[in-house]
Amino acid sequence: MTIDEVNACLPGCVQLTEYKYHLLSLYLDEMLQWNKKINLTAIKDKNLCWQKHIIDSLLLGEFIDEDKKLLDVGSGAGFPSIPLKVVFPGLKITSVDTVGKKIKFQKHCVRKFDLKEFVPLSLRIEQLEESTSELFEQVTSRAFSSLLQFCQLCSQYVTVGGKLIAMKGADYQREIDEAEPVLLQLGLTIINVDTRELLPGKEIRAFVTIERKV
């Protein structure tokens, strides 16, 4: 996809410059090259990677605060955390995934693209408190688990007044209905549900924003 095609699929607050487009293109090249030896993604077509990985990740940029610490849970090969870091270099990101080879790839990208204040960790989210006592103003998840499990496992890492943002597909309402009875017990409240079309296709992406009240 060209830069114009990519930007046409993104909100106005997340438009790519030529430099950032070039950096993300190199990142996809690295991922597809590594993918020949280790399984990072099932998608092998670069144009489809732009849509399913980069554009999808960057849609989240509309709902985050770029000057606050972010924890990305179940980040895989670095989605959405690496694209967000490229577009919003001021973000301080901790990226967690259980699969060591995927974190190894993220560490390679951190070095290759000189990503400052980006920390990839290979561990289960339940083990994060053993590595850091830090709390985060925002915690994201793109393909980690159900909304209920995401909230149960991650609410302890969010500051009071901070938010969890879950990226969900077309079945998001079922997950919300399942999670809502438990959220109050966790001190959490759903404050917004926004839906967007993942262009250039018509796939629905929902962004469920949940605030930690206590």
Q: How confident is the model at residue 133 (pLDDT cuts 50, 70, 90)?
A: confident
Q: Pairing mode, if any, of strands 118-122 and 93-97? A: parallel
* 2 in a structural domain: no
Domain boundaries, position 122 = 56-212
CATH number of the structural domain spanning residue 205: 3.40.50.150
Q: According to the model, what pLDDT value does residue 145 have?
A: 86
R_g of the chain computed on alpha carbons: 16
CA 208 – CA 206 distance, rounded (Å)? 6
* 61 in a structural domain: yes
Domain count, the chain: 1
* 24 in a structural domain: no
* 40 in a structural domain: no
For the chain, what is the mean pLDDT? 95
* 48 in a structural domain: no
Digit-coded pLDDT (tens) for 43-99: 999 999 999 999 999 999 999 999 899 999 999 999 999 999 999 999 999 999 999
Q: According to the model, what pLDDT value does residue 180 have?
A: 93
Task: Read off the tokens for 137.
Answer: 């103003």
Q: Which of 135, 142, 162 is nearest to 60 (CA)?
A: 142
Q: In this structure, what are the phi and psi dihedrals at residue 134, rounded to the nearest 5 degrees? A: -70, 145
* 104 in a structural domain: yes
On whether the CB atoms of residues 74 and 144 are closer than 8 A, the answer is: yes
Digit-coded pLDDT (tens) for 113-125: 999 999 999 999 9
* 165 in a structural domain: yes
On whether the CB atoms of residues 205 and 198 are closer than 8 A, the answer is: yes
* 167 in a structural domain: yes
